[in-house]
Amino acid sequence: MKRGILFVTFVAATGLVRSADAEQLIVNSYGGPYEDIIRDRIIEPFEKEFGVKVIYDAVGSASQD
């Protein structure tokens, strides 16, 4: 379920980036190990494919909530 939500979020963000011709995208989510996974598996490939700089704004780790 989490993976599906994350996928939908990035697909929607892709549409926004294309329509706005933005050069950067700000993503807000958890930090810690969760952030590492998102950066390695989603953000880096996204940046390479679409030529957009993603700024990751971490709000803490999931264990802090």
Q: Where are the alpha helices (DSSP H) in the chain?
A: 2-20, 33-38, 44-50
Q: How confident is the model at residue 5 (pLDDT cuts 50, 70, 90)?
A: low
Report DSSP letters for 16-27, one per residue. HHHHHT-SEEEE
Could you tell me the residue range of the domain that residue 20 belongs to?
A: 2-64
**Predicted pLDDT at 56:** 92
Confidence tier at 45 by pLDDT (50, 70, 90): very high
Q: Which amino acid is at 39?
A: R
Instruction: Share the mean pLDDT of the chain.
Output: 77
Specify the pLDDT at position 59: 82
Indicate the number of domains in the chain.
1
Helix (H, G, I), strand (E, B) or coil at 54: strand
pLDDT at position 31 is 84
pTM for this one?
0.57
